[in-house]
Amino acid sequence: MKKILLTLAAVLCAATMMAQEKLLQWDQLMSRELYPGADASGFVFVPGSGKVTYVKDGECYLFDGKKEVKLSEKEVEKMRQPVLDGRKEAREADKRAQLRDGNLYVDDRLVAEGDGYNIVLGESVHRNEFGINGGLFWSPSHNRLAFYRMDQSMVKDYPLVNTKAREAETMPIKYPMAGMKSHEVEVGVYDCATGHLVYLQTRRDTTVHEREMYLTNIAWGPDDQHVYIAKVNREQNHMWLERYNAVSGALEAVLFEEENPRYVEPCEPMIFTPKGDQFLWFSMRDGYKHLYLYNLDGSLVRQVTSGEYEVEGFIQFDSKGENIFVYANKDNLAGRAAYRVNLKKGTMERLTSASGTHTVVINPDGDNLVDVWSSVSIPRRADLRDMKGNLLKTFYNADNPLKGYAMPEVTIGTIKAADGVTDLYYRLITPPHMKKGAKYPTLVYVYGGPHSQLVTDSWLGGGNLYFMFLAQQGYVVFTLDNRGTDNRGFEFESCTHRRLGEIEMADQMKGVNFLKGLPYVDVNRMGVEGWSFGGFMTITMKLAHPEVFKVGCAGGPVIDWKWYEIMYGERYMDTPQENPTGYKSASLLDKAKDLEGRLLVIHGCEDNTVVWQHSLEFIERCINNYRQVDYFVYPHHEHNVLGRERLHLYQKMFQYYEDHLK
């Protein structure tokens, strides 16, 4: 076990006894007052200079490299004008396209008819997978509009229930389940000048296989004449990057293809170079998420970044288009730094030197940047630095918002996975002022699914005030990012393919073994908690290891993957028809007979992500097997319990631990 010495308590140096320190109160868990504040925000560089404008205490300021000057809003707007023009134009274009009663209008002209339910126009499709978060795409000149048209009339209505009505009413949704009929999507292109509408010819034939393909990562070419789409087959193991003529709708070229026996998952559209003659593409084809440079005809120029790390995001080009700025975890797998990468040489320079998780605003001239960051020991800080890392100004260095409170210790470290080779990152939160020889109840908080990273080199290690509250109340709180989670490479993430829950649990139990070796952990009082995929993991672990986990608390849990939606479910499990063994093994229905101890299952009865059917059928199996289970429902809540009820949720779970674990 390798331990990273990133302990919050060591930095804060709590000197007073816990009796003299404050404890977190319930109402504070939902307040922003105890999260690190920002004395300055809205950093924007003045084009053509190293000057930066920002807002502080409601006033506008300019830092000219030597001194800070207060400015009027009009003065700031004038300085920022070249930057703001593009944003203003985009906002105006967004207003021109409107959805009314399911129909799409542009400039008050009817473009296409829909009903918002069976035929959905201009909205996100494929259940927001593949990085899709919208359905309207303006061309660079804002003269043409591409939009999604989703036909889900062939998908069976799934009933949700509204109990607020005098007589309860159904609120049906379209929820295509794994192995069943999927919706069908097209992309339309509307020419604002001519009023001409064309649908891109994305289907090579009329088969269901073609109609059910995913149309992802829509991008306009800089010439305003072409639309690019990353098309993925329903099996999600083959991707075609295709170029279409925006006027005729014809397929002009397949630029390149990617295949993987497990899955491919394009999540970012192509990024055109400033000259518009090349583009960058994110791919995990070499095992890690990296950037590749292509010519417009689809010929590969070179792989720009490489190595056993992930490029987590593209920031921008420099003014000459010779370098790019990116985020990556190259030097700290639990953190995120900003780098400058030369497009031709591939040389990579780290721009943010401090360990932590960084977000930057870079001067278009490429000579300095504002670095906003935090770490396990730094609540929040904003620095102006040059490209060599020299500090030019600190805009703010936030005080610890929990100063004066009894501070738990937050530690990030690593243990070996169940394969004995792979490092897994954990976060360990321990009660303040632990007594020598004392044993403490311990809670394993788990998610463990794709696209997640819970343990980060950021304030509180990526944890929240609820975890700090639990620690103050005498609980050890432990979280481990098992294999199957994000930002560690394709093999790390995809090794769970077709057998969800198996490898994840094996890794989590390695975390449990680590906990058992700590002198202050009470091995007879261990619990597990998680939501969504974490709810699935919680019940999986509780049923498989009743001798370890005295208590479990599972929210919105997936019980059987055959009831989950196509896009996510089939990527990681294939269809029930293709993988019956995997689905049966991952299902918790037949395992309900193994329930021992206390398990609290929580669900929102209007959940449209993990539908209510999951937990209801699990409860039925518990009844049939004469197993006692505790159950709680949040009426009128979807997948997440938000708003005031979130506090109720925290109190509900805490009281459950107090009654049955502590």
Strands 551-555 and 521-531: parallel
Q: How far apart are CA 555 and CA 333, in angstroms?
A: 29
Q: How far apart are CA 198 and CA 201, in angstroms?
A: 9
Which of left, alpha, beta for 420 (phi over 0: left; psi -120 to 50: alpha)?
Answer: left
Q: How far apart are CA 393 and CA 50, in angstroms?
A: 12
Distance between start and end Cα atoms, the chain: 28
Beta partners for residue 71, in sequence order: 60
Core vs surface per residue 544-554: b (16+ CB within 10 A) or e:
bbeebbbbbbb
Please pick, among 371, 457, 574, 607, the residue that the annotation labels catalytic.
607
Which DSSP string corresponds to 472-541? HTT-EEEEE--TTSSSS-HHHHHTTTT-TTHHHHHHHHHHHHHHHTSTTEEEEEEEEEEETHHHHHHHHH
Catalytic (active site) residue 486:
no
∠ Cα 593 599 602 (to 5°): 115
Closest CA to 502 of 485, 483, 487, 488: 483
Whether 188 and 197 have beta carbons less than 8 Å apart is answered as: yes
Catalytic (active site) residue 115:
no
∠ Cα 221 226 227 (to 5°): 85
Spatial neighbors of 305 by CB under 8 A, at least 6 apart, are 290, 291, 311, 326, 328, 341, 346, 348
Residue listed under structure tokens 């906003």: 372
CA distances from 572 to 126, 181, 409, 430 (A): 15, 18, 36, 35
The first and second tokens of residue 148, run together, are 């999604």
Please pick, among 182, 374, 375, 532, the residue that the annotation labels catalytic.
532
Catalytic (active site) residue 607:
yes
Using DSSP, state whether 573 is helix, strand or coil. helix
The first and second tokens of residue 324, run together, are 């790019």
Active site positions, annotated? 532, 607, 639
